[in-house]
């Protein structure tokens, strides 16, 4: 059995003896050495196997991580790539219009024809909130988060048949009972929710993310509903309803509704132009007690929408 | 492995120790450093040359063991040598039947006496063999903690032994030349070259050329290695990466991961090549011990003003002449023996020795027997000059201790002793008997005595018998009816004191009265003792 202890300069007889010495003779005192050798061999094999398994596992994990990273980046690029320049700056544009609308009232604008076919069939981004919430980007985002798909926008797209209490109540009930989202209306919050994921900076973070961070990003992107965001950013119209503070001396209804002024604006986002701006007063006192208990706010919203359609 | 055996005791070399057993013991001792008594055990069980002598017939009465341990003791490097006494006694007690063996030993002793250098070389060789024995039989000092160091020391001594044998005995012409021949054969072989290479590897793996700078205050300021030169010609030198890989290989094979393990494997391989030579050194130690012991005996005698010699070996019919024969046992006990001369016309005579008690008769018998024994072993005899006729056997009966379980009385035991003598006595043997038939009344004893003598003549032995049957001896001398009978008597001084010299003839008296007076056993002395005891009995106790 060859050994590294021998070399060519050694006499053949010496080489043989060195090899015998290394191999161990068949005497009892060499048995522990052989046993030790077997143990060490097994240990060595297990160490090598562990290293190979770890290396292989890490390689598979790294490959899987890269695959997930690529998938996420691909998804981000798919959604982000379809956004045009206007869509990328849509939030800033929306905030600018909302900020202006919350300022001193600049008077009515009536360049929007509610009766025109398809006028409200365009992609709409909608937000409603107290007027004081629309003073800065952060507060607008908070207001957008609190703004739901509520009665006004539904009634705007599908107004009550008349302003009679019976028709308005019926519509308000229908609005509350509706579960299917409106096909062309998106919340402004949708634009905020995933807007950050469509920015190049987020791509850079995804590229640098480890497995844990990537998992977090994946979950956040999954929850963010990029499709909704993209649609919200690509909306053609901004419909904003800003509730001015009501008269605090008048008791509020159970849903918080009380008489107050409401600013309504419809903005052509593609043209960066306010198409409609109006300031209306809503007052639930005109509705019967029975209707107001549950539907004061919805009925005021639907009545307002009816009024816009029928000035 | 060398084909020859460095046997100093025999002209035709023979391996006398149990080779396989000793090889195993040496290997274990080399590996463990625990093998107390390996050499002694192997030598104790060593065989000897064929001999017709039966040690039981003489060794006890001649105190051969005491003689060997006390007369053959010598010092090595200033300390008393630890002799393998049993082996020595075994060799001394078995004089070889082949006379060529004795001549072989005599030639070696003659050369050692003639050449001071060869004797010093033999002493040096013995000292090295003792060092080897010490290293093999018990790990001491650093060897306890560093087995490799101890094993390298063993290999170093092995090489020194071979070099000593090869270099210092080249001029030998006697049997000592086998040492040179053996060493040359071994040194021409691969195992010796590997041994030398390994020792060089141990001493000089590489040479560093250093430059050290010292400041004015004597402090070390600079230290620079100018060059490193590995001893690349040495077959044990491998490159540094290969040495590291070797360690890894050994670890995978179940050994330790260390430089020590690498050198241990190499030591093991080199040792395997020379282990047979080490086994032969065990036998050689015993051989050298015999010669140095004989020389020490010679030195001890010379210090006491006595001389020893290698006797002239003659035929039994030739005259026996011994000059200044002394008793080595007395010398061993620190007494200065008085040498005597013995002159007889033939060796194969029956010599009756008579004389006073404490006249040296028994000491003479011991001296004669020991001289015969040593002469036939090929060693120095305790005499300035001597002629010795080799005998096929020796029977000595000097003392008869009374044993608690003996079945017979004193006469019965003597008769048993006579029966045993004839049972084992071959023709021409040497017989030494002290005070034959002294255990019965003289008239009956003399009858048995004469019967024994007449029977002995049929075997033509070399016989020495002491007796106090003076009248009987005188009658035999006068009658001359037994041709081979000779008589020696103790020579007395002017005041009838023994001179420890011997002359032909029969003593007139045993001087028992003189001996009794010397020991306080006269009538007046005994009477004085009796009266003292009576007075003591009458005096009341105080």
User: What does the pLDDT read at residue B408?
Assistant: 59
Question: Taking CB atoms and an 8 Å cut-off, how many pairs form between chains A and B?
Answer: 77
Q: What gap in Å lies between CA B320 and CA B175, rounded to an integer?
A: 29
The nearest CA of chain B is from the CA of A6 a distance in Å of: 8
The nearest CA of chain A is from the CA of B233 a distance in Å of: 8
Write the Ramachandran bin of B299: left for phi over 0, alpha for psi from -120 to 50, otherwise beta.
Answer: alpha
Class of residue A263 by CB neighbours under 10 A (exposed 0-12, middle 13-18, buried 19+): buried
The nearest CA of chain A is from the CA of B246 a distance in Å of: 5
Q: How many CB atoms lie within 10 A of CB A286?
A: 15
Block mean pLDDT (10 aa), chain B, length 542 = 81 91 92 82 92 91 92 90 93 95 96 96 96 83 75 94 96 94 94 93 78 86 82 84 86 81 91 93 95 96 95 93 95 89 94 89 94 96 96 84 60 78 87 80 79 88 90 90 91 85 86 72 82 83 51
**What number of CA atoms fall less than 13 Å from residue A141's CA on the CB side?**
10
pTM of the model: 0.66
A35, closest residue in chain B (CA to CA):
B254
DSSP string, chain A: ---TT--TTS-HHHHHHHHHHHH--SSGGGHHHHHHHHHHHHHHHHHHHHHHHHHHHHHHHHHHHHHHHHHHHHHHHHHHHT--HHHHTHHHHHHHHHHHHHSS----EE---TTSTTTT-S-EEEEEEEGGG-SSHHHHHHHHHH--S-HHHHHHHS--SSSSHHHHHHHHHHHHH--SPPTTEEEHHHHHHHHGGGSHHHHHHHHH--HHHHHHHHHHHHHHTHHHHHHHHT-SEEEEEEEPP--TTSPP-TTS--SEEEEEEEEETTTTEEEEEEEEEE-GGGS-HHHHHHHHHHHHHHHHHHHHH--
**What number of CA atoms fall less than 13 Å from residue A56's CA on the CB side?**
6
Taking the Cβ of residue B255 and every Cβ of chain A, the question of whether any pair is shorter than 8 Å is answered with: yes
Largest CA distance in chain B: 107
Taking the Cβ of residue A32 and every Cβ of chain B, the question of whether any pair is shorter than 8 Å is answered with: yes
Contact between chains at B238 and A36 (C-beta distance less than 8 A): no
Contact between chains at A21 and B265 (C-beta distance less than 8 A): yes
- B-chain residues within 8 Å CB-CB of A41? 252
Taking the Cβ of residue A275 and every Cβ of chain B, the question of whether any pair is shorter than 8 Å is answered with: no
Beta strand B350-354 with B340-344: parallel, antiparallel or unpaired?
Answer: unpaired
Q: Between B193, B233, B262, which is nearest A5 by CB? A: B262
- Give the three-state DSSP class for B381: strand
- Give the three-state DSSP class for B322: strand
Q: Within its chain, how far is the Cα of A147 from the centroid?
A: 15
Q: Which residues of chain A have pLDDT under 70?
A: 1, 24-33, 149
Taking the Cβ of residue A31 and every Cβ of chain B, the question of whether any pair is shorter than 8 Å is answered with: no
Q: What gap in Å lies between CA B99 and CA B11, rounded to an integer?
A: 11
B 452-481 near A (Cβ less than 8 A): none
Taking the Cβ of residue B263 and every Cβ of chain A, the question of whether any pair is shorter than 8 Å is answered with: no
Contact between chains at A44 and B235 (C-beta distance less than 8 A): no
Q: Between A21, A38, A41, which is nearest B268 by CB? A: A21
- Based on its alpha-carbon atoms, the radius of gyration of chain A, rounded to whole angstroms, reads 36
A34, closest residue in chain B (CA to CA):
B254
The nearest CA of chain A is from the CA of B136 a distance in Å of: 19
- B-chain residues within 8 Å CB-CB of A45? none
The nearest CA of chain B is from the CA of A20 a distance in Å of: 8
Sign of CA dihedral A140, A146, A148, A153: negative
Q: What gap in Å lies between CA B510 and CA B530, rounded to an integer?
A: 27
**Helix boundaries (H) for B402-499:** 410-424, 442-457, 470-479
- A-chain residues within 8 Å CB-CB of B249? 3-5, 22
The nearest CA of chain A is from the CA of B296 a distance in Å of: 43
Taking the Cβ of residue B208 and every Cβ of chain A, the question of whether any pair is shorter than 8 Å is answered with: no
**Residue partners of B117: CB distance under 8 A and separation at least 6:** B168, B171
Q: What gap in Å lies between CA B454 and CA B465, rounded to an integer?
A: 13
Q: Between B31, B238, B273, which is nearest A17 by CB? A: B273
The nearest CA of chain A is from the CA of B254 a distance in Å of: 4
Residue in this structure with the two tokens 């004389």, named with its chain if needed: B355
What tokens were used for B42? 């192997």
Q: Within its chain, how far is the Cα of B35 from the centroid?
A: 24
- B-chain residues within 8 Å CB-CB of A24? 253-254
Mutate to test the interface with B, among A16, A22, A44 (most CBs of B within 10 A): A22
User: What does the pLDDT read at residue A202?
Assistant: 87
Mutate to test the interface with A, among B28, B232, B272, B274 (most CBs of A within 10 A): B272
B241, closest residue in chain A (CA to CA):
A4
A40, closest residue in chain B (CA to CA):
B252
Which among A149, A116, A118, A171 is positioned nearest to A309, based on CA atoms? A116
User: What does the pLDDT read at residue A149?
Assistant: 63
Contact between chains at B252 and A40 (C-beta distance less than 8 A): yes
Q: What gap in Å lies between CA B100 and CA B13, rounded to an integer?
A: 12
The nearest CA of chain A is from the CA of B22 a distance in Å of: 17
- Work out the angle at residue B387's Cα, subtended by the Cα atoms of residues B386 and B393, and round it to the nearest 5 degrees: 115
Name the DSSP letter for residue B9: S
A22, closest residue in chain B (CA to CA):
B265
- B-chain residues within 8 Å CB-CB of A34? 254
User: What does the pLDDT read at residue A29?
Assistant: 47
Taking the Cβ of residue A122 and every Cβ of chain B, the question of whether any pair is shorter than 8 Å is answered with: no
Length of chain B: 542
Contact between chains at B265 and A4 (C-beta distance less than 8 A): no
**Residue partners of A247: CB distance under 8 A and separation at least 6:** A258, A259, A260
The nearest CA of chain B is from the CA of A31 a distance in Å of: 10
Contact between chains at B253 and A22 (C-beta distance less than 8 A): yes
What tokens were used for A90? 């849509």
Contact between chains at B265 and A35 (C-beta distance less than 8 A): no
CA dist A127 to A107, A192, A236, B127, Å?
20, 12, 14, 114
Contact between chains at B246 and A5 (C-beta distance less than 8 A): yes
Q: What gap in Å lies between CA A65 and CA A59, rounded to an integer?
A: 10
User: What does the pLDDT read at residue B322?
Assistant: 96
DSSP string, A3-55: -TT--TTS-HHHHHHHHHHHH--SSGGGHHHHHHHHHHHHHHHHHHHHHHHHH
Q: Identify the bridge partners of residue B229 per DSSP, sorted by sequence position.
A: B207
Taking the Cβ of residue B151 and every Cβ of chain A, the question of whether any pair is shorter than 8 Å is answered with: no
- B-chain residues within 8 Å CB-CB of A3? 246, 249
Taking the Cβ of residue B246 and every Cβ of chain A, the question of whether any pair is shorter than 8 Å is answered with: yes
Q: What gap in Å lies between CA A43 and CA A41, rounded to an integer?
A: 5
Q: Between A13, A20, A33, which is nearest B254 by CB? A: A33
CA dist A296 to A127, A185, A260, B287, Å?
20, 23, 13, 132
A44, closest residue in chain B (CA to CA):
B252
What tokens were used for A18? 């060195």
Contact between chains at B253 and A37 (C-beta distance less than 8 A): yes
Q: Which helix (H) or strand (E) holds B344?
A: strand B340-344
User: What does the pLDDT read at residue B128?
Assistant: 96
The nearest CA of chain A is from the CA of B265 a distance in Å of: 6
Contact between chains at A4 and B246 (C-beta distance less than 8 A): yes
């Amino acid at each position: 059995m060859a050994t590294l202890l021998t070399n060519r300069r050694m006499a053949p007889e010496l080489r043989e003896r060195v090899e015998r010495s290394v191999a161990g003779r068949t005497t009892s005192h060499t048995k522990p050495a052989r046993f030790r050798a077997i143990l060490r061999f097994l240990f060595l094999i297990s160490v090598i196997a562990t290293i190979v398994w770890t290396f292989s596992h890490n390689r598979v994990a790294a490959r899987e991580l890269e695959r997930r990273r690529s998938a996420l980046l691909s998804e981000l690029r798919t959604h982000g790539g379809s956004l045009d320049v206007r869509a990328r700056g849509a939030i800033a544009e929306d905030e600018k219009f909302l900020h202006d609308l919350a300022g001193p009232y600049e008077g009515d604008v009536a360049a929007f024809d509610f009766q025109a076919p398809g006028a409200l069939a365009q992609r709409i981004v909608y937000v409603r909130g107290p007027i004081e919430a629309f003073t800065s980007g952060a507060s607008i985002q908070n207001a957008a988060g609190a703004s739901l798909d509520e009665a006004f926008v539904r009634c705007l797209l599908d107004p009550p048949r008349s302003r009679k209490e019976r028709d308005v109540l019926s519509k308000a009930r229908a609005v509350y009972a509706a579960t299917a989202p409106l096909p062309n209306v998106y919340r402004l919050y949708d634009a905020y929710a995933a807007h950050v994921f469509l920015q190049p900076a987020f791509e850079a973070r995804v590229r640098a993310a480890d497995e844990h961070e990537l998992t977090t990003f994946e979950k956040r992107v999954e929850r963010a509903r990029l499709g909704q965001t993209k649609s919200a950013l690509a909306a053609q119209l901004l419909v904003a309803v800003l509730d001015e503070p009501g008269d605090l001396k008048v008791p509020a209804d159970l849903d918080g509704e009380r008489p107050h002024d409401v600013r309504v604006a419809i903005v052509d986002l593609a043209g960066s132009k306010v198409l409609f701006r109006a300031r209306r007063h809503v007052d639930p006192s005109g509705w019967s007690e029975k209707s107001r208990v549950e539907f004061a706010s919805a009925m005021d919203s639907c009545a307002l929408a009816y009024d816009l359609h029928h000035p | 492995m060398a084909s020859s055996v460095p046997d100093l005791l025999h002209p035709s070399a023979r391996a006398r120790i149990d080779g396989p057993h000793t090889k195993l013991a040496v290997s274990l001792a080399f590996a463990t450093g625990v093998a107390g008594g390996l050499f002694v055990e192997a030598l104790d069980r060593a065989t000897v040359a064929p001999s017709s002598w039966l040690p039981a017939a003489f060794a006890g009465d001649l105190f051969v063991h005491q003689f060997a341990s006390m007369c053959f003791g010598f010092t090595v490097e200033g300390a008393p040598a630890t002799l393998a006494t049993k082996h020595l006694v075994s060799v001394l007690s078995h004089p070889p039947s082949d006379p060529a063996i004795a001549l072989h030993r005599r030639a070696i002793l003659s050369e050692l006496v003639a050449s001071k250098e060869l004797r010093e070389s033999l002493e040096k060789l013995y000292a090295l063999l003792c060092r080897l024995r010490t290293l093999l039989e018990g790990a001491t000092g650093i060897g306890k903690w560093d087995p490799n160091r101890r094993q390298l020391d063993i290999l170093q001594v092995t090489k020194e032994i071979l070099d000593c044998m090869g270099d210092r005995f080249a001029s030998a012409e006697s049997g000592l030349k086998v040492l040179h021949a053996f060493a040359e054969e071994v040194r021409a072989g691969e195992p010796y070259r590997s041994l030398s290479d390994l020792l060089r590897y141990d001493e000089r793996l590489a040479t560093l050329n250093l430059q050290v700078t010292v400041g004015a205050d004597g402090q070390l300021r600079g230290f620079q290695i100018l060059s490193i030169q590995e001893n690349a010609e040495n077959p044990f030198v491998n490159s540094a990466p290969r040495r590291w890989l070797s360690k890894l290989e050994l670890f995978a094979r179940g050994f330790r991961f260390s430089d020590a393990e690498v050198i241990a494997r190499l030591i093991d391989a080199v040792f395997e090549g020379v282990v047979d030579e080490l086994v032969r050194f065990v036998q050689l130690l015993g051989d050298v011990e015999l010669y140095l012991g004989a020389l020490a005996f010679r030195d001890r005698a010379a210090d006491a003003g006595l001389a020893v010699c290698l006797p002239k070996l003659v035929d039994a019919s030739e005259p026996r002449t011994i000059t200044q024969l002394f008793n080595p046992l007395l010398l061993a006990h620190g007494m200065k023996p008085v040498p005597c001369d013995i002159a007889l016309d033939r060796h194969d005579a029956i010599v009756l020795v008579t004389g006073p008690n404490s006249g040296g008769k028994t000491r003479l018998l011991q001296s004669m027997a020991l001289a015969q024994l040593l002469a036939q072993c090929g060693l120095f005899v305790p005499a300035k000059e001597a002629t010795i006729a080799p005998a096929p056997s020796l029977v000595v009966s000097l003392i008869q201790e009374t044993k608690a379980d003996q079945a017979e009385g004193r006469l019965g035991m003597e008769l048993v002793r006579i029966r045993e003598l004839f049972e084992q006595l071959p023709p021409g043997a040497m017989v030494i008997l002290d005070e034959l038939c002294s255990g019965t009344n003289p008239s009956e004893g003399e009858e048995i005595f004469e019967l024994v003598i007449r029977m002995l003549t049929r075997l033509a032995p070399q016989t020495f018998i002491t007796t106090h049957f003076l009248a009987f001896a005188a009658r035999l001398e006068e009658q001359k009816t037994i041709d081979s009978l000779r008589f020696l008597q103790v020579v007395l001084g002017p005041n009838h004191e023994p001179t420890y010299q011997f002359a032909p003839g029969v003593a007139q008296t045993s001087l028992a009265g003189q001996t009794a007076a010397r020991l306080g056993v006269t009538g007046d002395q005994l009477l004085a003792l009796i009266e003292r005891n009576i007075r003591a009995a009458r005096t009341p106790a105080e």
